[in-house]
């Protein structure tokens, strides 16, 4: 088994190299296609510029070099583990990404766990009672959650819980003026997490619930389920263990695919809740034509996707022994 995992890991690693190269190349070219560069942006936000200043800035950022030279230069740095410098923010790209990573994980991991947990539960329940009033309520709720724009849900959450009832803070990750530490800081952070995590998980929960319901319905019709029932196992045991475990596979696949969203997908929620995550950093990098920063984030998120999919592959093995054998 251990040897199998190592073999799988090595294969994945080799496969990842062309993928990552492609991701960097495509994003580099896309940014080249966007009009305007970082020098334009810096002049733009300062409200004034001179031709000398523009030339100095471009020379400083290497933007006066031919595009292929810029690309090779970037690639050379990445190979040696150097993600470069954000010229606008005056910091190394790696530092900027690592600064934002905790906030991103703090938002995304609970959101994905909450979403997949509640989605599977609701989807499973709806499938067991397919056609009943419970199924009706769950399906309608899921459809509503699925169709409502995230930022609107977030804003309504702020208006209701932040402004009207004042139970929860309006935004941010912690109270910046309070100088908290230890348990007080953890509690304060938790309070700040409630609205953004719930908002973000709402959409994903709806998605997983729909998937789970469909795949559970298929599983419940299988012969082995009938056999299990015929053996006299309790209905709960049959549904949760026999059918449920098999129905999990499509949902797991989806969670794995959406791991990319772990890094970039929270832009709207991060914006609405002033959450200092990587999504906003990436979004700003695009608007400000901060090429190094954007490529760094894209690269980091591609690596995450590759890693998480590797983990999902391992989880498949646990959920379905047939996958392990293959």
Partner 1 sequence: MIPPAMSRRLLLAGLGAATLGIPSRMALAQPAATPRRGGTLTAIVQPEPPILVSALNAGAPTGVVSTNIFDGLFTYDWDMSLKPCLAQSWTLAADGLSLTFRLRPGVKWHDGQDFTAEDVKFSLEEIWRKIHPRGRATFAAVEAVETPDPLTVTLRLRQPSPVILSALNAYEAQILPRHIYAGGDALANPANLKPVGTGPFRFREWVRGEHIILERNPDYWDEGKPYLDRIVFRIVPDAAARAALLETGQAQYAPYSPVPLSDVARLRALPGLAVETRGYEWISPWLFLEFNLRKPELKDRRVRQAIAHAINRDIIAKTVWHGFGKPAVSTVPSSLTRFHNPDVPKYPFDVKKAEALLDEAGFRRGADGMRFALSHDYLPYGDDYRRTGEYVRQALRRVGIDLTLRSQDTPSYLRRVFTDYEFDISSSWASSFSDPQIGVQRLFWSKAINKGTPWTNASGYSNPEMDQVIEAAQRAVDPAERARLFREMQALAATDLPNLPLIELHFFTVHAKTLRDVATGPDAAYSSLKHAWLEG
Sole window of 32-40, 70-78, 119-127, 211-219 interacting with partner 1 (rule: CB under 8 A): 32-40
Q: Is 17 in the site for partner 1 (CB under 8 A)?
A: no
Q: Of these, 20, 43, 101, 307, which contacts partner 1 (CB under 8 A)?
A: 43
Q: In Å, what is the CA distance from 231 to each residue of 120, 128, 129, 320, 321?
A: 26, 19, 22, 22, 22
Which residues, numbered 169-198, are part of the site for partner 1 (CB under 8 A)?
Answer: 169-174, 176-177
Which residues, numbered 269-298, are part of the site for partner 1 (CB under 8 A)?
Answer: 271-277, 280-281, 284, 287-289
Rounded to whole angstroms, the Cα distance separating 218 from 212 reads 10
* DSSP state for residue 275 in the 8-state scheme: -
Q: In Å, what is the CA distance from 284 to each residue of 41, 281, 302, 311, 319?
A: 11, 5, 19, 30, 40
Q: Is 155 in the site for partner 1 (CB under 8 A)?
A: yes
Nearest alpha-carbon partner for 196 in 125, 105, 284: 105
Torsion of CA 263, 269, 272, 278, to 10 degrees: -10
Number of residues that bind partner 1 (CB under 8 A): 55
Structure tokens at 297: 């984030």
Closest to partner 1 by CB, 174 or 229 = 174
- Four-residue CA torsion sign, 48, 64, 36, 91: negative
Assign 166 to helix, strand or coil.
coil
Sole window of 63-71, 89-97, 111-119, 207-215 interacting with partner 1 (rule: CB under 8 A): 89-97
Q: Of these, 158, 197, 262, 298, which contacts partner 1 (CB under 8 A)?
A: 158
Q: Is 163 in the site for partner 1 (CB under 8 A)?
A: yes
Task: Kindly list the residues in this chain that would bind partner 1 in the complex (CB under 8 A).
Answer: 34-37, 40-54, 60, 88-91, 96, 99-100, 103, 155, 158-159, 162-163, 166, 169-174, 176-177, 271-277, 280-281, 284, 287-289
């Amino acid at each position: 088994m251990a040897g199998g995992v190592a073999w799988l890991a090595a294969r994945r690693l080799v496969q990842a190299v062309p993928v990552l190269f492609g991701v960097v190349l495509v994003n580099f070219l896309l940014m080249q296609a966007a009009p305007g560069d970082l020098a334009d942006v810096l002049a733009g936000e300062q409200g004034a510029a001179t031709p000398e200043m523009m030339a100095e800035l471009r020379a400083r950022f290497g933007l006066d070099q031919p595009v292929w030279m810029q690309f090779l230069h970037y690639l050379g740095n990445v190979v040696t583990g150097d993600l470069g410098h954000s010229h606008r923010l005056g910091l190394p790209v790696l530092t900027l990404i690592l600064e934002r990573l905790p906030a991103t994980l703090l938002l995304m991991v609970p959101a994905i766990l909450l979403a997949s947990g509640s989605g599977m539960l609701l989807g499973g329940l709806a499938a067991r009672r397919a056609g009943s009033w419970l199924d009706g309520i769950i399906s309608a709720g899921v459809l509503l959650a699925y169709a409502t724009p995230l930022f609107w849900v977030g804003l309504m959450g702020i208006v209701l819980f932040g402004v009207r009832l004042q139970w929860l803070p309006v935004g941010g990750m912690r109270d910046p003026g309070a100088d908290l530490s230890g348990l007080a800081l953890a509690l304060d952070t938790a309070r700040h997490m409630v609205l953004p995590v719930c908002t973000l998980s709402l959409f994903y929960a709806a998605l997983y619930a729909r998937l789970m319901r469909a795949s559970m319905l298929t599983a419940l019709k299988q012969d082995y389920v009938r056999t299990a029932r015929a053996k006299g196992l309790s209905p709960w045991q049959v549904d949760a263990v026999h059918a449920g475990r098999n129905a999990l596979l499509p949902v797991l696949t989806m969670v794995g695919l959406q791991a990319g969203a772990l890094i970039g997908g929270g832009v709207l929620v991060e914006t609405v809740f002033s959450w200092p995550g990587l999504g906003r950093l990436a979004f700003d990098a695009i608007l400000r034509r901060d090429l190094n920063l954007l490529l760094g984030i894209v690269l980091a998120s591609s690596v995450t996707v590759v890693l998480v999919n590797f983990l999902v592959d391992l989880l498949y093995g646990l959920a379905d022994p047939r996958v392990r054998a293959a």
